[in-house]
């Protein structure tokens, strides 16, 4: 049974994964190269736990216990003790491969490694490790504390034992596991990202304004967020990276990233995290930019 977990990368996904592990009573090391990023992540986790306390979903005691289970680290001393390491670094294949190669030398032989990649081939990432049979995809959704789903992706070499251990852990986290085959972007992003990309084309071609497109999909299709608001929430760089994986991996022009999405990323307009995307977040309320 998996009881000791390390999460590599304290960004949006890494902090959410540490949050849900800690609430489930699992000790978790949260590793990042940057102390400042770790401080930021702990603040975000505390704010999100507080939000759950405020809504009566968690007691104050549960919150303190959860915070006590999260250990921020910048070194690797904890690694030989881990049952599972989840890689949640930025969605860049070279960075992920460098982390996974380095991990191989530092883990116990029976430890499992999972990647939270949202689109990259699990089999290709597994190939740089020393343990493809104990490697798989564990794809959480954002915001992790709220979203019910975890996609579980087997690489070609993933053993049944590995898959079952990670599935059992997912259930312990109070999440619903869904198996997906190792094809570009798996299930959720294979369907969701082309919709978001199409929303950007709809804006690009002048069919509707940012507000019109988001209102149309919220009220016309009952989506909790409009597609452009959701793109800003996911991060426009992440959206573009996933579209590129689909475009290249499936070799079909229907996945061509919208030029406007490319331009926004080139401008550094990455959505909520950079203060500007399809909305401007610098004031009290988000303001549409087109
Ligand atoms: N941590 C903890 N709790 C949170 C939270 C967080 N980060 N964000 C929201 N919540 C909680 C709120 O406290 C609230 O709790 P109650 O139900 O107990 O009241 C609940 O979630 C709803 O939040 P709000 O009332 O503040 O706002 P909302 O009703 O607008 O919901 C939302 C916010 C849950 C984010 C909702 O807008 C939503 O579901 N949006 C779509 C999210 C989505 O599609 N995510 C998937 C992105 S794709 C992905 O992640 C894959 C990938 O690889 C790119």
Instruction: Encode pLDDT of 84-111 as tens digits.
Output: 999 999 989 999 999 999 998 899 999 9
| Residue 50 Cα to ligand 1 middle (Å) | 15
Q: What is the pTM of this model?
A: 0.94
CATH number reported for the structural domain that contains residue 232 in this entry: 1.10.1040.10
232/251 same-domain check: yes
Residue 185 lies in a domain: no
CATH number for the domain that contains residue 20: 3.40.50.720
**Ligand 1 center to 225 CA (angstroms):** 9
State which of 127, 154, 180 marks the end of a domain: 180
Of 180, 204, 236, which residue is a domain's last?
Answer: 180
Q: Please give the positions annotated as active site.
A: 118, 139, 151, 189
Of all protein residues, the one whose alpha carbon is nearest to atom 35 of ligand 1 is: 143
Question: Which residue's CA is minimally distant from atom 22 of ligand 1?
Answer: 146
Ligand 1 midpoint to CA 146 (Å): 5
**pLDDT tens string 236-270:** 999 999 999 999 999 999 999 999 999 999 999 99
Residue 51 Cα: closest atom of ligand 1: 13
**Which residue range is the domain that position 129 belongs to?**
4-180
Sequence-separated contacts (24+) of 250-253 with Cβ below 8 Å: 250/183, 250/184
| Alpha-carbon distances of 92 from 7, 43, 83, 250, rounded to whole Å | 17, 25, 25, 18
Torsion of CA 87, 89, 90, 96, to 10 degrees: -60
Query: Which protein residues are within 6 Å of ligand 1, measured from CB?
Result: 48, 51-52, 55, 57, 118, 141-143, 145-147, 188-189, 192, 224-225, 230, 234, 238
Give the number of other CB atoms < 10 A from CB of residue 247.
Answer: 17
16 and 140 inside one domain: yes
Q: Which pLDDT band holds residue 7 (cuts at 50, 70, 90)? A: very high
Which H, E and C letters describe 224-251, residue by residue?
CCCHHHHHHHHCHHHHHHHHHHHHHHHC
The model's pLDDT over 50-88, given as tens digits with 9 standing for 90+, comes to: 999 999 999 999 999 999 999 999 999 999 999 999 999
Of 160, 180, 200, the domain-final residue: 180
Mean pLDDT (the chain) is 97
Quick one: pLDDT at residue 113? 98
């Amino acid at each position: 049974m998996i009881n000791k977990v390390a999460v590599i990368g304290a960004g949006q996904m890494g902090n959410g994964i540490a949050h849900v592990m800690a609430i489930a009573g699992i000790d978790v090391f949260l590793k990042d190269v940057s102390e400042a990023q770790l401080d930021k992540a702990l603040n975000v986790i505390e704010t999100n736990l507080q939000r759950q306390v405020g809504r009566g979903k968690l007691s104050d005691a549960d919150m303190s216990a959860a915070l006590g289970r999260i250990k921020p680290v910048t070194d690797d001393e904890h690694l030989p003790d881990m049952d599972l390491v989840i890689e949640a670094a930025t969605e860049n294949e070279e960075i992920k491969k460098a982390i996974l190669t380095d991990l191989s030398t530092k883990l116990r032989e029976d430890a499992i490694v999972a990647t939270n990649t949202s689109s990259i081939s699990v089999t290709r990432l597994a190939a740089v490790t020393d343990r493809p049979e104990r490697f798989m995809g564990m794809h959480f959704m954002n915001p992790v504390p709220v979203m019910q789903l975890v996609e579980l992706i087997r690489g070609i070499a993933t053993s049944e034992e590995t898959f079952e251990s990670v599935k059992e852990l997912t259930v312990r986290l109070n999440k619903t596991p869904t198996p997906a085959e190792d094809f570009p972007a798996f299930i959720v992003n294979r369907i969701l990202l082309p919709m978001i990309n199409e929303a950007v084309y709809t804006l690009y071609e002048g069919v509707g304004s940012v507000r019109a497109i988001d209102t149309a999909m919220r009220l016309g299709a009952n989506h909790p967020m409009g597609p452009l608001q959701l793109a800003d929430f996911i991060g426009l760089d992440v959206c573009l990276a996933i579209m590129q994986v689909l475009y290249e991996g499936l070799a079909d022009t229907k996945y061509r990233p919208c030029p406007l999405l490319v331009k926004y990323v080139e401008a550094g307009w990455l959505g909520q995290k950079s203060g500007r995307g399809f909305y401007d977040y610098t004031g009290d309320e988000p303001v549409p930019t087109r």
